[in-house]
Amino acid sequence: MTACLRLLSALCLAALLAACASSPSSNLGELPRTPDATVEQLLERATASKSPEEASVLRLSAADQAARQGDASRATQILQQVRIELLKPGLQILASTLGAELALTRNDAKAALAALHHPSLQRLGELPADQQVRTHLVRARALEADGQVLAAARERVFVAPLLSGDAAGQNHEAIWALVGSLPVEQLQNQGSDDFAGWLSLALAVKSAGTLEQQQAAIDTWVAQHATHPAARQLPTPLVKLKALASQPLTRIALLLPQDGQLAGVARALREGFMAAYYQAQQAGQKPPVIDVIDSSRLTSLDDFYRQAQAQGVQLVIGPLEKPLVKQLAARAQLPLPTLALNYSDSNQVGPPQLFQFGLAAEDEAREVSRRARADGLHNAAAMIPKGDWGDRVLNAFRQDFEANGGTLVAAERVDQPVQLAQQIASMLNVRNAGSGLQSSTGAQASRRQDIDFIFLAATPQQAQQIKPTLNFQYAGDLPVYATSHVFSASGDQAQYNDMTGIRFCETPWLLDSSNPLRQQVVRQWPQANGSMGRLYAMGVDAYTLAARLGQLKALPDSRVEGLSGNLGMSATQRIERQLPWAQFVGGQVQRLPNTTP
């Protein structure tokens, strides 16, 4: 009996040793357990080591420690000395993960994703959970930074079961932030897994028109997906959305000029607004009463607000005139919540009841910055018109681009067409310009190589001259990212041909002719099919925003899918637009795939 017990013990010990020998640590490799060693000591040991593999392991450990201490520059330098091919697969995964983390500190999402394409990543599932989590989370961050929002959300949903505590909560909120930022067309998923559930939740919230409908949609979704992680714990923005006190909006004053220079603009805004009103009515909703007030006949804003309050108005939409908006922004309080259809000065902080919405060129400049960065471009040159408008657009672009790691290498202010060729040659440092492909001495013509793309804010007529001149000045390969001002929406194929290759941001209204409301409006007002369509879209969105201002104020990360753009609210209560993209190709306008909204 004793002999049998001894034999059983020996067999158990052998099995335990075999299990240890086949553990992930021994098969895949692990860092040396030297918790007290400094980066310098690890590097010294690496230098003294006679084993190239051991030296690489020690250097990887030193790079990892430097990164954890916040010294990304030194960590990158050390990691470059690691011979990754000498490492075991588990350490190759760690090196790739660390490389991706360091690339993200440089705002280089594409380099991060490239680092995570190492063949060793196929064995990631064999590593301990904490190492798997680290790799999956950096991949999710890199995908998001690269504009692959759907893939980033999927990655976070995949890693969620491995997380606990604060990390699980943060990942839960990050999943909602990602899926909540996606356009409706990307939320269609007929699956039954957790990822499909997240998408259907976002679709339910986005598809609901009013705050009450959104709250009801959340309740319905939770009842239908009781076991889903988001049903067990609603994301914080949705908890806040559920808690918002909602008073039905029954009366709105639409304050727009009927005479003067802005009468035509106001007419398009008003017609778009009322088109949305009638659409809501036809859909069975009970829209508020609309009082249309002529702001061009106002003698006193105080008198207007007193009369509006007396008539039971709950929200004012307007004015359009910038001087009136400035007057409102200068006040400490307003008697009623007001959605102005223009902006006051950029440094003017208005009263808490004032919201501001318009087709700001600055929004488009920031959109160019975002899109170029999402496309992996980091060095820009700019061409903008001379004058205050051009300066504002350039400043908005520069601030956003440089704040996110980009560099504005050069800028030219366009004025006289006769100077255009020389301005472009100067901006690009073109040598032997205008002498053909080679000079008489045989020297090859060239331009500076530190520019990744050109930011263009110009009229269609200017763009027609600029793009061919860029081609002539040896810069035909430089991507051009433009604001919507280059697009006349005239359907002029000859004009579009001259701008082939230019990418530009534009309102969904002008890029999606299949929208039912747009089709209805264009049938009644054909001018809405051209550049005036932007104003009709803004009018439609003003109606939509009326019921969403409280939501956007309470939930800074929430957005509204509008026809003038994807709408959010800044800390100063200005509605900011993010826009889809298109490019001119062979005389046609071609829609480009979306990136991060």
Mean pLDDT computed over 97-124: 93
Instruction: Examine the domain organization and report whether 520 and 542 are in the same domain.
Output: yes
Helix (H) or strand (E) holding 292: strand 289-294
Instruction: Examine the domain organization and report whether 273 and 378 are in the same domain.
Output: no
The span from the CA of 24 to the CA of 29, in Å, is 7
Structural domain includes residue 544: yes
Read off the CATH number of the domain in which 274 is found.
Answer: 3.40.50.2300
Structural domain includes residue 479: yes
Position 8 scores a pLDDT of 37
Query: Among residues 146, 164, 195, which one ends one of the domains?
Result: 146
* Domain encompassing residue 387: 362-433+447-506+579-591
Instruction: Examine the domain organization and report whether 229 and 259 are in the same domain.
Output: no
Instruction: Examine the domain organization and report whether 335 and 470 are in the same domain.
Output: no
Structural domain includes residue 583: yes
Place of tokens 């950029």: 346
Structural domain includes residue 170: no
Number of folded domains in the chain? 4
Instruction: Examine the domain organization and report whether 455 and 370 are in the same domain.
Output: yes
Half-sphere exposure (CA, 13 Å, Cβ side) for 529? Answer: 11
Which pLDDT band, with edges at 50, 70 and 90, does 206 fall under? confident
- Whether 470 shows a pLDDT value over 50: the answer reads yes
Position 423 scores a pLDDT of 73
Instruction: Examine the domain organization and report whether 134 and 92 are in the same domain.
Output: yes
Position 213 scores a pLDDT of 83
Query: Among residues 89, 124, 146, which one ends one of the domains?
Result: 146
CB 24 within 8 A of CB 127: yes
Position 439 scores a pLDDT of 40
- Whether 247 shows a pLDDT value over 80: the answer reads no
| Tens digits of residue pLDDT in 321-374 | 999 999 999 999 999 999 999 999 766 788 999 999 999 899 899 999 999 998
- Summary mean pLDDT of the chain: 86
Q: What are the structure tokens assigned to 522, written together?
A: 């264009």
CB 515 within 8 A of CB 508: yes
Mean pLDDT computed over 364-392: 92
Instruction: Examine the domain organization and report whether 451 and 539 are in the same domain.
Output: no
Which pLDDT band, with edges at 50, 70 and 90, does 420 fall under? low
Whether the link from the prior residue into 319 is cis, omega within 30° of 0, is yes
Q: CB-based contacts of 54: which residues, under 8 Å, 6+ apart?
A: 46
Structural domain includes residue 12: no
CB 373 within 8 A of CB 402: no
* C-alpha closest to that of 318 among 255, 389, 228: 255
Read off the CATH number of the domain in which 57 is found.
Answer: 1.25.40
Structural domain includes residue 257: yes
Structural domain includes residue 157: no
Instruction: Examine the domain organization and report whether 387 and 301 are in the same domain.
Output: no
Q: What are the structure tokens assigned to 155, written together?
A: 């990655």
Instruction: Examine the domain organization and report whether 398 and 527 are in the same domain.
Output: no
Distances (CA, A) of 383 to 131, 430, 501: 47, 16, 16
Instruction: Examine the domain organization and report whether 124 and 199 are in the same domain.
Output: no
Structural domain includes residue 167: no
Instruction: Examine the domain organization and report whether 452 and 374 are in the same domain.
Output: yes
The span from the CA of 193 to the CA of 184, in Å, is 19
Instruction: Examine the domain organization and report whether 57 and 111 are in the same domain.
Output: yes
- Whether 551 shows a pLDDT value over 90: the answer reads no
Position 349 scores a pLDDT of 80
